[in-house]
Structures are given as structure tokens and as C-alpha cells.
């Protein structure tokens, strides 16, 4: 299995090489040269596997430069009961509508599902190659803590995580900033998430700086994150169906497009997925695209701070991978569109709009703060289940796309403890906090605060890189 760039300027590389590189050298994103196919017999043969063993099967389709026994050892370590006491349970809400519980890991967010595998595979590959790696990433809330918890104390890896100053919940900040491990560096930037991500892309795009400081990526621009997320779409389909061919729809709260992109790829591989329901908050650039065919990211000044802050994103870093498929995997067309985006601030694919649903199964909707409160309140009243505000966005939009006989799984993005303020506003009660995290707010915090300037971040990396 070899990998190429969405922009066509990279020689094919094996998995372990792209794992350590993040962005392709031409600024594009990596994808397999061709997707593996899953037939009904293969899917049925996996029905009784544990999550860890299923992960080894699915990831093994994309990774042929790591021995199968080593891959299985890594997935069993990543998805052990010590890390996930429960793993991806299906939680029924009402007829035809369920949650897929992806937030049972150490940071109470779905990002743990991929990050725990990344922690294992980074350490393995770096040890094999006798190399070190400095991870440079940006987070709007959950990626940062999931990456740091997965990589804390790992040999040969340092993490430099940018976050938007004052734009995350208190719980999210405490999860990240309370880590005291020497290889973890938190940097709070005066700006919004998109500006943090711009700094990451600027430094990763400086090939001399990237090479000199062995920069890698842990955001969902890293293909390994997407591959690991494909696993839970297969798992969810297996748990929600009784036999071959039955279709399932997935509703996905979406900001950076990585989570739902994994569903798109699972569908392309042959998993019987009926609809991919994209749910946004007030930062609805992606919803606008799927309704109009025009992709028009907004500037930082027009990116709203909302009560589902992990989705306060106006430029989706993974969207280019889907655009690559939309334009027939024509890398030259992707390059033209990315140039248009840089110069005009938008591009227009409205001529391809019929394909969005008919060919690829996408539908989309948006949710507001009032919608989130009403959804949290209604779900709690009707079922006794508490959901976080991002998951509430997914539930709200999913309800408009329910179809008889087609189970709808809403991907749970976080546990409500991470967003107590909104839960109290919705229900009048604080959500329960796991015992191990009850003192989180009282723990000492360590964070560097700086202006939104790539040069300042670069200087900090130079002084602290491995």
C-alpha cells in the first residue's frame, strides 16, 4: 500500500513514511493510491471480533510495512480495558436513533479512539528507525488533550500543541494545561483555532524548518488518524445490523471534516452506509457547501465562539481529501481549486452538487445554541441520558434525516462533564465527573501564552525541540 498527495507532487510512499511527515511536501494531504474493498463476506467474518482485533484487521488493509503481529500488539495495547473500560457501545435513545459511544477513553472525547493508536505506532516506528519527532498541532478543544494523553512520556516524541486563548471550556483547558510531562508543551495563542492551524501549516510548509526540527503532525491531516477512525464506522455498522447488506446512517458533528471523512472512506470501501449526516454549529461553512456547492471559509473575525467550541472552525483541514474524490481524483484540478481559494477566498463546485447525496450520501444541517439546549433537555427528559453540546448538534440534525428501517447512529463526540456550563444551562444540574478527574480544576497548570505570530511559535519550538 503506497500513498500519494491530493496535489500530485509527491512520489508514492509507504505508511510509516507518511506517518512521520504529516502534510505532503507539496502542501497536499496524503491518501492511499487506491482504497481497499470490503465485501459482505469479509464484513460478516468480523462480526464477533473485539474492537482491538477489528482495528488490526481494518488498519492492516492500509499498513503493510509493519508486521501483522506488531500491529495487533499495538491495537490491543491502544484499546485495552485499562484505556477504555467500555469501548464504542451503542446507546439507544429512541426508535431508530442511537449514540455510538466514542468518549469512554482517558480524555472523555472521541479523539481518544484514534490518538491511542497513534501513541503506540509513533513510538514503535521511531524506535525502529532510531529517530525523534516533534509533533506540532493545533486544537479547538479535544484533539490537544487526546494527543497529549496518548503521547505523554512516550520515547522519542515531543508535543507542541497550539490552542486558542480563552476559547475552550475550563475542563478542556485543565485537561491539557495540567499535564506536567517534560515532553508536553502547551501554547495558548491570542486568536481563533483557524489562526492556530494557519501557524501549524506555515511551519510545516517551511521544508527547511520542518526537516531541521523533525516536525510531524497529529491533527487529522495525519492519515493515520483517519485510518484509525474508519474502524469505528465498521464497528458501528456491525453493532447496528443483523446481517449482510443492511444499511446504516451516521450523523457526525463536524468542524475539521476528519471524523466524517472517515465515514466517507468506509462507505467508499463498501460498508453499507446509507447517509452521512453532517452537523455543524453556527460556524456552518461545511453545511453551506453541501447546500450550495460553494466553499467559502470565513475569516477569524467571523468565526463565532459557541457553546460547542470544538467545532468553532471555519476552514476544514480535511476537506481537501473529499474534494479530491469529488473532482475525480484529479490532482491538477485540486491545485487549481486551492489556488482559487487562496486568491478569491472561495471556490465553486455547484456543478457537482447532484453527486453530494446521490453519489456520496452526504446531507447536512446546522444547529444553534438554542437548539443545543433544547436537544440536551429533551434527550435527558425522554431517556435520562445526558449528552454534550457537540453530540446535541448531531442529534438535532440527525432527527431531520431519519428513515424507516435505517438505523441512525449519532457519533458521540465527548462526555458532558467537559461542558458543565452548558449542561447546567440546559438541565439545571451539573453533569457527573469521573472520580479520577474530580480534582482536575485544582491541579497546577503549565502553559505558554503568546501572540498569534508564527515566528514566536517557531522560536519556542527551536528552543524546546528534541
Give the residue from 179, 184, 111, 105 showing the smallest Cα distance to 141. Answer: 111
Per-residue confidence band for 249, with pLDDT thresholds at 50, 70 and 90: very high
All domains of the chain in start order, with CATH: 90-107+225-427 (3.40.50.1100)
| Distance separating alpha carbons of residues 330 and 351, to the nearest angstrom | 16
Catalytic site residue from 2, 57, 91, 111: 111
| Distance separating alpha carbons of residues 139 and 189, to the nearest angstrom | 11
Taking phi first (over 0 means left), then psi (-120 to 50 degrees means alpha), and beta for anything else, what does residue 88 get? left
Grid coordinates of 262? 472517515
Length of the chain: 466
Q: What is the model's pLDDT at position 355?
A: 97
**Which residue carries 528507525 as its cell?**
129
pLDDT surpassing 80 at residue 246:
yes
pLDDT surpassing 80 at residue 380:
yes
Tens of pLDDT, residue by residue over 273-320, are 999 999 999 999 999 999 999 999 999 899 999 999 999 999 998 999
Give the phi and the psi of residue 451 in degrees, each rounded to 5.
Answer: -70, 165
Grid coordinates of 90? 451503542
Higher pLDDT, 394 or 217: 394
How many whole angstroms from its chain centre is CA 259?
5
pLDDT surpassing 80 at residue 141:
no
What is the CB neighbour count within 10 angstroms for residue 154?
Answer: 20
Give the residue from 390, 384, 383, 399 showing the smallest Cα distance to 369. Answer: 390
Taking phi first (over 0 means left), then psi (-120 to 50 degrees means alpha), and beta for anything else, what does residue 80 get? beta
Q: Which residues pair with 251 in a beta bridge?
A: 277, 410
Q: Report the range of poorest mean pLDDT among 19-23, 32-36, 397-401.
A: 19-23
Residue 201 a catalytic site member: no
Mean pLDDT of 174-191: 96
Amino acid at each position: 500500500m503506497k500513498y500519494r498527495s491530493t496535489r500530485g507532487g509527491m512520489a508514492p510512499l509507504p505508511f510509516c513514511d507518511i506517518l512521520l511527515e504529516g502534510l505532503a511536501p507539496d502542501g497536499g494531504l496524503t491518501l492511499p493510491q487506491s482504497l481497499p474493498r470490503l465485501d459482505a463476506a469479509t464484513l460478516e467474518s468480523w462480526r464477533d471480533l473485539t474492537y482491538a482485533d477489528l482495528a488490526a484487521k481494518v488498519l492492516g488493509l492500509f499498513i503493510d510495512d509493519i508486521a501483522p503481529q506488531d500491529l495487533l500488539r499495538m491495537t490491543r495495547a491502544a484499546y485495552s480495558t485499562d484505556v477504555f473500560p467500555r469501548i464504542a457501545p451503542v446507546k439507544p435513545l429512541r426508535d431508530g436513533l442511537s449514540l455510538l459511544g466514542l468518549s469512554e477513553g482517558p480524555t472523555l472525547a472521541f479523539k481518544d479512539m484514534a490518538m491511542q493508536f497513534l501513541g503506540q505506532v509513533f513510538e514503535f516506528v521511531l524506535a525502529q528507525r532510531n529517530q525523534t519527532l516533534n509533533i506540532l498541532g493545533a486544537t479547538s478543544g479535544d484533539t490537544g488533550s487526546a494527543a497529549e494523553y496518548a503521547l505523554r512520556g512516550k520515547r522519542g516524541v515531543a508535543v507542541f500543541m497550539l490552542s486558542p486563548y480563552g476559547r475552550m471550556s475550563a475542563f478542556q483547558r485543565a485537561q491539557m494545561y495540567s499535564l506536567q510531562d517534560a515532553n508536553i508543551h502547551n501554547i495558548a495563542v491570542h486568536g481563533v483555532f483557524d489562526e492556530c492551524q494557519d501557524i501549524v501549516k506555515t511551519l510545516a510548509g517551511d521544508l527547511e524548518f520542518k526537516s531541521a526540527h523533525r516536525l510531524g503532525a497529529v491533527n487529522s491531516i495525519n492519515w493515520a488518524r483517519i485510518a484509525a477512525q474508519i474502524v469505528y464506522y465498521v464497528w458501528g455498522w456491525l453493532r447496528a445490523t443483523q446481517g449482510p447488506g443492511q444499511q446504516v446512517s451516521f450523523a457526525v458533528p463536524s468542524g475539521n471534516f476528519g471524523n466524517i471523512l472517515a465515514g466517507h472512506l468506509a462507505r467508499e470501501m463498501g460498508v453499507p452506509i446509507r447517509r452521512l449526516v453532517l452537523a455543524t454549529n453556527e460556524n456552518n461553512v461545511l453545511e453551506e457547501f453541501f447546500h450550495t456547492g460553494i466553499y467559502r471559509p470565513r475569516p477569524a473575525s467571523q468565526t463565532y465562539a459557541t457553546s460547542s467550541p470544538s467545532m468553532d472552525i471555519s476552514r476544514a483541514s480535511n476537506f481537501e481529501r473529499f474534494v479530491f474524490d469529488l473532482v475525480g481524483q484529479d490532482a491538477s484540478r485540486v491545485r487549481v481549486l486551492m489556488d482559487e481559494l487562496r486568491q478569491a477566498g472561495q471556490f465553486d463546485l455547484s456543478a457537482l452538487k447532484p453527486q453530494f447525496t446521490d453519489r456520496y450520501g452526504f446531507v447536512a444541517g446546522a444547529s444553534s445554541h438554542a437548539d443545543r439546549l433544547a436537544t440536551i433537555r429533551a434527550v435527558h427528559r425522554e431517556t435520562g441520558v445526558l449528552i454534550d453540546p457537540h453530540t446535541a448538534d448531531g442529534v438535532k440534525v440527525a432527527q431531520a434525516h431519519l428513515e424507516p428501517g435505517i438505523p441512525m447512529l449519532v457519533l458521540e463526540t465527548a462526555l458532558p462533564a467537559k461542558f458543565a456550563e452548558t449542561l447546567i444551562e440546559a438541565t439545571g444540574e451539573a453533569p457527573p465527573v469521573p472520580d479520577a478527574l474530580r480534582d482536575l480544576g485544582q491541579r497546577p497548570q503549565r502553559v505558554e501564552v503568546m501572540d498569534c505570530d508564527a515566528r514566536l511559535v517557531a522560536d519556542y519550538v527551536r528552543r524546546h525541540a528534541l
